Amino acid sequence: MLQVHSAIHLLVAMASLSPRGYAILESDQTPEKSHTTVAMDKPRARFGSLVDREDTKYERIRNPCVLSWSDLSYTVKGKKTPELPWGTKTILDRVSGRCAPGELTAVMGPSGSGKTTLVDLLADRISSGDVSGLIEVNGAERVTKTFRAVTSYVAQEDTLLGSFTVAETMKMAARLSLPNTVTTHEIEIRVENVMDAMGLGTARDTLVGDIFRKGLSGGQKRRLSIAIELLSNPSILILDEPTSGLDSSAAHNVMKFIVKLCAEGKTVVCTIHQPSSLVYEMFTNVIVLSAGQTVYCGPRVKMIPHFASTGYECPQYMNPAEYFISLVNTDFEDHAEVPKLVYAYSKCETNKQIQETIMRDRTTLKHLPDIRNRPPSSLRQFSVLMYRNLLNNVRNPGIYWIRLFMYFCLSFMVGTMYLSTNDDLTDEDLIPTSA
């Protein structure tokens, strides 16, 4: 009996030492289940007591969220022109939609259709212009501080320092964002979990890279940018064109990891420009915008039948995403049927079901508790930034040579100003005196 107990303790200890022994939270629900049911379910840990003890403080802020918006409009002021007689331009015009946990919602449309503006409004990143309409979380009007505590936003451009490894980048980002109550050991656990979840575990010691040194590929950099935002374990993840600048293979890999995040119970919204057929099949819901208006918003599987019912059937061997984006492009006169498509969607059954679901959410969903972000202290942020800047300079000695060369050139230019100056000149020679 003693030997059996010893063997059990040995196995538990070995599991605790392995990074695989730490939990990656995931939901019991599958994307096929109803919106309301998925929104109310709590994710569970994959492993045992060690995970429950280590990840307690992260589990507390993980609240499944249904994000919805109704009659959302956005206008900006500009100069009066023949096209803008009132001096205002409408970027979004009474758009509505809904995103639930476990679902991947893609916002598509031609350039200038308002895709980025919509996700920026949903992420609460726009402070100028006139905004009207209602944005709700779990059926209640969005509260800024609570919303920001459960939301992360991934910008289109990667802002990474090439002289740091993946693990160093993640740890510094964690120290800059997580509160002081999170210990160093807990930060390391969180970093390892997120790196494994995003497929970066094998590249943890690889430099990010820049124009001067080799490092991560484009797809790995995008996954690293997403991983940084996942450190706070957000319930809502908003991404602006996560596949921009990537080839079809890298874009497909990035979207596969994003789909895994949806399976964990996160609400994911992303803008995307001309996805491939494989990427298009990954979406749960699709929103098509044109000139700031909603041409379609609903399940992807109902999108082709909807457009076919309006007289625009997608060709059999054509990518549906490319066909519908070209269909609603208002830059060309031969594609000027947008008002007809907007009207057809406003009267369709899919739109009515979304509006009814948004109304039902206000009475059936559990509202978010009063959550507040606890940022790290200013002293901690200052020390991390100073250390990061010092380490970045040490790893880039060329910066010092460039600065030294600049100082030498500046000194030479200033010195040449006095090169031919006569030493016998006096103040009277330089300053004219009155007669």
Query: How many other C-beta atoms can be found within 10 angstroms of the C-beta atom of residue 71?
Result: 11
β-bridge pairing 267-271 and 104-108 = parallel
- pLDDT tens profile 392-434: 888 888 888 888 999 999 999 988 887 776 666 666 666 666 6
pLDDT, greater one: 134 or 30: 134
Superfamily covering domain 67-376 = P-loop containing nucleotide triphosphate hydrolases (3.40.50.300)
The answer to whether 279 and 252 have CB atoms below 8 angstroms apart is: yes
pLDDT, tens digit, 9 for 90 and up, residues 276-309:
999 999 999 999 998 889 999 999 999 999 999 9
- DSSP at 240: E
For tokens 């990010």, what's the residue?
A: 208
Token pair, residue 124, equals 């609460």
Q: How far, in Å, CA of 239 to CA of 111, rounded?
A: 17
Q: Which amino acid is at 139?
A: G
Q: Coil, strand, or helix at residue 38? A: helix
Sheet architecture: strand order including 140-141: 88-99, 67-77, 130-137, 140-141
- Report how far residue 327's alpha carbon sits from residue 312's, in angstroms, rounded to the nearest whole number: 9
The 293-299 sheet, strands edge to edge: 151-154, 236-240, 267-271, 104-108, 285-290, 293-299
pLDDT value at residue 108: 93
112 closest CA partner among 277, 328, 407: 328
Chain centroid to CA 129: 22
**Neighbouring C-beta atoms of residue 22, cutoff 10 Å:** 21
Q: What is the pLDDT of residues 320-374, one digit of tens each?
A: 999 998 888 877 655 567 888 999 999 999 999 999 999 999 988 887 776 766 7
Whether the pLDDT of residue 18 is over 70: the answer is no
State the Cα–Cα distance between residues 34 and 31, nearest whole angstrom.
Answer: 8
Give the residue from 196, 176, 175 showing the smallest Cα distance to 184. 175
- Strand, helix or coil at 133? strand
Ramachandran class of 291: left when φ > 0, alpha when ψ lies in -120 to 50, beta otherwise: left
Residue 58, pLDDT > 60, answer no
- What are the residues facing 137 on neighbouring strands? 67, 140
Q: How far apart are CA 121 and CA 130, in angstroms?
A: 11
For the chain, what percent of residues have pLDDT higher than 70? 78
Whole-model pTM: value is: 0.75
Residues 57 and 77: beta-carbon distance below 8 Å: no
Instruction: Give residue 431's pLDDT.
Output: 66
